[in-house]
Amino acid sequence: MENLIDLDKMHFIHPTSSIKQQQEEGSKIIFEKGDGIYLTDKNENVYIDAMSSLWNVNIGHGRKKLAEAAAEQMEKLAFSSAFSTFSHEPAIKLAKKIATITPTGLNAVFFTSGGSESNDSAVKLVRHYWKIQGQPNRRKIISLKRGYHGVAAASTSVTGIPEFWGMAGHLMTDFVHADTPYGKGTEKAITSLRHVIEEEGPETIAAFMAEPVQGAGGVLIPPDDYFKEVRELCNEYGILLVADEVITGFGRTGRMFGMENWGVIPDMMTFAKGVTSGYIPLGGVVVSDAIHDVLKEKSEGTLFHGFTYSGHPTAAAVALKNIEIIEQEKLVENSRKMGEQLVKGFQKMKQQLDIVGDVRTIGLLGAVELVQDPKTNKRFSSDMKVAPKVIDALHERGVICRAVTYESTDIICFAPPLIMEQSQIDTLVDKLHDAILFVQ
């Protein structure tokens, strides 16, 4: 049989990867199986999956109940359409469940297959919302610099990390990026956001879209009062607030949804990843009753927006079982508790290692920044970044996590499964400490 590494190089174009490096070096790890917080590769090496793979395997790997839920639904009805006036029980029940667990007033769900589709759908829905209300000029979407929202047509442009615009340029227009509140503070960030709104013209702005915590940007946790002020600003100018809860949803930040950390209710919420813990693709947009009412009253004819897999019955059955497990095992509470333990470990490590700068967690979403001088927060130059070396050292020590190194950043991100136990947190921190010592 041909070697897997060679076949991989020949036939598999990897997502978000350097095609050249992939060709030269081949895949470093070929995963074979998963169990709880662990992944095992083809050579029987075992790793702690400290990223829940792609911030999504919230309940951990190898859950038979999810496989059973999928099998049961597939045997009964693997797929049928939900277009037009067709429907099916799993999607109806999941929509009801999501309406129940999202904040008050968010009660209607449009399903997709993932985060990018959800954010593209949100952009189209907000523009449609304004159009049918006689304000077609409200088209602009403001989002945050260093925000990540996906790679489809609109979500690429909503994303505030310029590297993502390089591949094919902007496919849609009317996107504006405002300063992240991280490291800036609420007052400055809100003043700058107000400035952007005034400059662009409030009557041209459809929505402000942001992640409650900017994940791929480096786990940038906003100040506690930031989103409350954003909510007020949006109300003042009649701008819709869209929360991208693709990473932060389903317990990741120690609350069921990220915005709940600050008691803020958005007008729309997008979700994906943790809704099925990655066992099967699914995402969606939840809209407020006010928006739903406008759509019901003023949307004429067919809404020409729907994916073949919107509300996929098997995916919906898996999501229902996944949410049941999150609730039964109290994983939201565990995320909060274990996040507090994780940051304690990071803080202890910071006292012992000179190159550790800011450390932070919110639930089981965390980051460790690496700096040349922790007193002045001076970063390493772009050719001296440390995070990628720490990531390699962690791989050798049996931990998978992720580096963020664009612009001046040098960050290691963590998003371990919400089932983490204290002893596993301790092992993770010990291994990180050891890896940083090794490379510093």
- Positions touching ligand PLP (CB under 6 A) are 114-116, 119, 148-150, 211, 215-216, 244, 246-247, 272
Which CB atom, from 270 or from 341, has the smaller least distance to ligand PLP? 270
Residue 251 C-beta: closest distance to ligand PLP, Å: 15
* Distance of closest approach, residue 407 Cβ to ligand PLP, in angstroms: 18
How many C-beta atoms surround the C-beta of residue 436 within 10 A? 24
How many C-beta atoms lie closer than 10 Å to residue 232's C-beta?
Answer: 12
Question: For residues 73 and 119, which CB has a smaller minimum distance to ligand PLP in the complex?
Answer: 119
Find where tokens 């309406």 sit: 99
> Taking the complex as a whole, how short is the minimal distance between the CB of residue 134 and ligand PLP, in angstroms?
31
Kindly provide the b/e burial profile for residues 98-137, where b requires at least 16 CB atoms within 10 angstroms of the residue's own CB: beebbbebbbbbbbbbbbbbbbbbbbbbbbbbbbeeeeee
Residue nearer to ligand PLP on the CB measure, 221 or 393: 221
Cα 17 to Cα 14: distance, rounded to the nearest angstrom: 6
* Shorter beta-carbon distance to ligand PLP: residue 176 or 415: 415
Minimum distance of ligand PLP from residue 117's CB (angstroms): 7
Residue (119 or 322) nearer to ligand PLP, CB: 119
Our CB check for ligand PLP shows the closer of 156 and 341 to be 156
Question: Shortest CA distance to 52 belongs to which of 244, 273, 282?
Answer: 273
Shortest reach from residue 440's CB to ligand PLP, in Å: 29
In the complex, which residue's CB is closest to ligand PLP?
A: 115
Of 359, 350, 331, 356, nearest to 416 by C-alpha is: 331
**Judging by beta carbons within 10 Å of its beta carbon (0-12, 13-18, 19+), is residue 300 exposed, middle or buried?**
exposed
Strands of 31-35's sheet, edge to edge? 31-35, 38-41, 46-49, 399-400
| Smallest distance, ligand PLP to C-beta of residue 409, A | 16
By beta-carbon proximity to ligand PLP, the closer residue of 149 and 255 is: 149
User: What are the residues whose beta carbons fall under 8 Å from the beta carbon of 102, sequence distance 6 or more?
Assistant: 256, 257, 269, 286
Return d(Cα 142, Cα 159) in angstroms, integer: 10
- Residue at 419: amino acid letter: I
Q: How far is the CB of 420 from ligand PLP (least distance, A)?
A: 20
